[in-house]
Amino acid sequence: MKKFPLLFVSSTEQSADISRAVKAGQVRKLGPRLYTSNLKDAPDQVVRQNCFQILSLILPGVIVSHRSAIENRISPDGRIYVTADYSRILNLPGLEIVVMKGPGRIPDRDMPLLHLFTSCRERAYLENLSLSRDRGGEPKNLSRVELEERLVGILDNSGADALNGLRDRAKEIATVLDMEAEFRKFDHIIGAIQGTREAHELVSPRSVARSMHEGYDPKAVERFATLRSILASQSFRLRPMPIENLKTFYNMAFFDAYFSNFIEGTEFEVEEARKIVDSGIVPADRPADGHDILGTYRVVGSIDDMTTTPKDFDQFLNLLATRHAIILEGRPDKQPGRFKEKPNMAGATRFVEPTLVRGTLRQGFEFYRGLEEPFARALAIFFIVSDIHPFNDGNGRLARAMMNSELVAKGEARIIIPSVFRSEYIAGIKRMTRESDPTAFIKQHAHAQEFASRIDFLDIDAAIETLRGCNAFAKPEDGLVLQMPAT
């Protein structure tokens, strides 16, 4: 029995064999002269999964163009757009192929794809700025918003040289394609995005922000919006701890600073950390680590500082910079108080790019400032700082200081993360970052606040014993769990 390939086109010589194979149930017809040996999957699934292979078989030499050259997939309305020296529409199961008459291939520019070509990037952008008539609601071109978003993405990810190079290459081919008018539009958009042209014609909020040198990370902003929506829709339990006894305030601040550093890897025995804070003297063999404890305590142990929350964006930036400068005072190599100039990562997570820090902070602040409940505001401001990671180092400690400032200012108990609870705490943050699911993130912080609210911090020695009895000082690898103190 003759075997047939997955996809093939008929010819005069093969027609008799193919007819017999169809009758025998070996192959089936997908379209004019187009057959498949896949008899199990639905015809539309076969076509959509192999659309470029099919194009290569039935329309060799055409150019995948316009929106299809940028999206590199079937459009939302089930179409692929190609350019040839004729016009035609082909309908297959699950796919409409729109053939448009237009300029031929540009040698050494348009890229080969099987027996097809695909418009080079500069040609594709010019094509998508050409006049377009809707076909049943879907144009052959991407929207202006989508084009601007993609250009901003090039600028953010690859830099100005890459975007300017794209513009230069587009200029070189505009005359060949008879697309001088399209190039003028393209040139203006790129100039506006970079802030060298008037931006009044830009339509994407992201490109407008970029033109004002406040570009932002759209994925981070999506996460902020998701978290804000959940926080705004819930009511949270109040856990009052007003600043009535200064001894309680300062003792709790010590544990705030101690655990905030411990979970970042700055590990001291609790008694040694007490000596550092009480004396202000750092260990000779670990001066930088000692300054981390002192710097963090100077922020979280200041009543003035911890009762100050940002009223506007400028104050938000100022609080971030001044608190970070104090926390990392002992590490001048980390540029305390100055936003990062190089990208930073934690494991496989790459944080917001340096050029997008200010703009992403502004977007985050807009989501934060509309929240009312202290716990909601605390979690929002924590996640904004943690997710952006605006500084070279110390971002976790800063984020927790910003978070607890929101709570202290409203007479609420701080959120303290004991070292034994680190794995659960980190897992909640990762789930929010990677999956935009705030469930565990909110739950873990509520649990940590409840834990702290049940401890009497008036006597520091008694508080240490309570914390020890709850396994708070254990490490995750010790296999213990955090026990909730009795009320």
End position of a domain, from candidates 183, 211, 239 = 211
271 shares a domain with 195: no
Across 153-177, average pLDDT? 95
Note whether 101 and 72 are same-domain residues: yes
Q: What mean pLDDT do residues 439-449 have?
A: 98
Distance CA(268)–CA(234), nearest Å, equals: 38
Q: Which is nearest to 375 in space by CA: 230, 257, 258, 247?
A: 230
Residue 31 lies in a domain: no
Same domain, 252 and 174: no
The reply to whether 171 and 122 lie within a common domain is: no
Q: What integer is the mean pLDDT of 94-123?
A: 96
The answer to whether 305 and 318 are in contact (CB under 8 A) is: no
Q: How confident is the model at residue 398 (pLDDT cuts 50, 70, 90)?
A: very high
Q: How far is the C-alpha of 322 from the C-alpha of 256, rounded, in Å? A: 19
- Return the closest-CA partner of residue 470 out of 433, 430, 416: 416
The answer to whether residues 210 and 157 touch, using CB atoms and an 8 Å cutoff, is: no
Is 360 in contact with 221 (CB distance < 8 Å)? yes
**pLDDT recorded at residue 137:** 73
One domain, residues 190 and 114: no
Kindly tell me if the per-residue pLDDT of 230 is higher than 90. Answer: yes
How many C-beta atoms lie closer than 10 Å to residue 478's C-beta? 11
- Average pLDDT of the chain is 95
Domain shared by 179 and 195, yes or no: yes
Q: Cβ distance 217 to 225 under 8 Å?
A: no
Say whether pLDDT at 346 is over 90: no
197 and 287 both lie in a single domain: no
At residue 487, does pLDDT exceed 80?
A: no
Domain boundary (125, 142, 159) is at 142
Mean pLDDT of 74-99: 96
Please report the pLDDT score of residue 14 as a whole number: 82
- HEC string for 293-312: HHHHHHHHCCHHHHCCCCCC
User: Does residue 155 belong to any structural domain of this protein?
Assistant: yes
Number of domains in the chain: 3
Q: What is the mean pLDDT of the segment spanning 328-339?
A: 95
Q: 3-class DSSP state for residue 349?
A: strand
Q: Are residue 366 and residue 456 in the same domain, yes or no?
A: yes
Q: Give residue-wise pLDDT tens across range 452-463.
A: 999 999 999 999
**Residue 242 and residue 175 share a domain:** no
Q: Which residues contact 385 (CB under 8 A, 6 or more apart)?
A: 320, 395, 398, 399, 402
**Mean pLDDT over residues 30-55, rounded?**
95
Does residue 135 carry a pLDDT above 80? Answer: no
| Residue 307 and residue 439 share a domain | yes
Indicate whether 153 and 136 sit together in one domain: no
Parent domain of 101: 61-142
pTM: 0.78
Determine how β-strand 79-84 pairs with β-strand 95-101.
parallel
What was the pLDDT predicted at 348? 82
Q: Is residue 185 part of a domain?
A: yes
Asked whether the predicted pLDDT for residue 17 surpasses 60, the reply is yes
Q: Which of 119, 142, 165 is the last residue of a domain?
A: 142
